[in-house]
Amino acid sequence: MRDECRQSRSRRYWDNVADITKAETDGSRLNHAIEQMTVRLAAAQFEEDFQSIGLVAREAFISLGQAVHDPARHPSEDSVTPSEADAKRMLTAYVAAELSGGQ
């Protein structure tokens, strides 16, 4: 019973994330990753299943970083140019610039 409740909550969460993502980005790769996580989570039974969801989540973060990061507007705090797969640096720079409270 607890597993059913947890899966139901998880599905509702990912449905909401998918709705927000579809509305705010063109992000076909991001949308595809979220859809894949939703499908895989519903079917996951073994440790390897959940690990594969983590890998897809990593790719989703990379896609999100690529979608929102603009090097001209979002310089990294340590002056290192983020690589194409550096989601942490891209998203940190984006959040720092866009949510700083300044212009």
Let me know whether 64 and 77 are in one domain. Answer: no
- d(Cα 65, Cα 91) in Å, to the nearest integer? 5
Let me know whether 19 and 51 are in one domain. Answer: yes
Q: What pLDDT digit, counting tens, does each position of 38-78 carry?
A: 999 999 999 999 999 999 999 999 999 999 999 999 999 89
Burial 27-48 (b: 16+ CB within 10 A, else e): bebbbebbebbbeebeebeeee
- d(Cα 34, Cα 60) in Å, to the nearest integer? 7
Let me know whether 79 and 93 are in one domain. Answer: yes
The answer to whether the predicted template modeling score (pTM) of the entire model surpasses 0.75 is: no
Domains contained in the chain, number: 2
Let me know whether 91 and 102 are in one domain. Answer: yes
- d(Cα 86, Cα 73) in Å, to the nearest integer? 17
Let me know whether 57 and 26 are in one domain. Answer: yes
pLDDT surpassing 50 at residue 11: yes
Residues of the chain above pLDDT 90, percent:
58
Let me know whether 22 and 60 are in one domain. Answer: yes
Domain range for residue 22?
A: 1-68
